[in-house]
Amino acid sequence: MSRSPWNDRDWSNHPDLIYPDYKSTVLRNPKKPLLKLDKIKQIPAPKFQTSSLRTIDADLTLNAKKDHDPIGERIIVLGKVKDEYGRPVPDCLIEIWQANSAGRYVHREEIHDAPLDPNFLGAGMTLTDQNGDYKFTTIKPGSYPWGNHQNAWRPAHIHFSLLGRSFVDRLVTQMYFEGDPLFKYDPIFNSIPDEKAKDRLVAKFSIDQTIPDFAHAYIFDIILRGREATPMET
């Protein structure tokens, strides 16, 4: 059987395992050559049911609300998850996590001294529908310092974790926002060598999906595998 032209990772679209400007990659990535597996079975992943999730799980403005709305700009993030052939991927579990509008995570080891928002947890999940579509409502995250280099600040972003119908349909990545002035200073974003691949990490503002008097909308389509795959980024 002939090999698919995208069995091997296309390193022009994905960051190197070790990227010195992104300092933690030097310590946490393998130093020895990776073992190549020529044949990998597409082992089915756990199948998640819509009944196992609540509607509120996809609304980060409500799922941790106690007495007030979360502080910050309310946004809608939506898109379609596709495979390498452009086919929709239904029943794909999508989990997101993010900083609040001040740039702070709800995490016991968080060191940024920005304020916490008692009405915002910064985590949610959903399943794609039969057309591969998904949607979240959340608060636009703030930038934060991260200590990688002098005066280092991360661009505003949302973390995505996806698990499709098999374990090869697995992706962890980050979604950014158009026009962020911090792009050119960020070694995580710039570890991706190809400009088109970088662009696939940037959500596009949509006036058509924006809900009047409620929230701006951003479209973030995701491709799990193939030459046009959304880059793996952690």
Higher pLDDT, 20 or 194: 194
How many CB atoms are located within 10 Å of the residue 68 CB? Answer: 10
Q: What are phi and psi of 185, to 5 degrees?
A: -105, -5
Q: pLDDT tens digits, residue range 104-153?
A: 999 988 989 999 999 999 999 999 999 999 999 999 999 999 988 999 99
Task: Express each pLDDT in 193-209 by its tens digit.
Answer: 899 999 999 999 999 99
Q: Which residues are catalytic?
A: 105, 144, 154, 157, 159
Domains of the chain: 24-29+43-223 (2.60.130.10)
What does the pLDDT read at residue 41?
63
Q: Contact 170/202 with Cβ under 8 angstroms?
A: no
Specify the pTM. 0.87
pLDDT class of 168 with cuts at 50, 70, 90 = confident
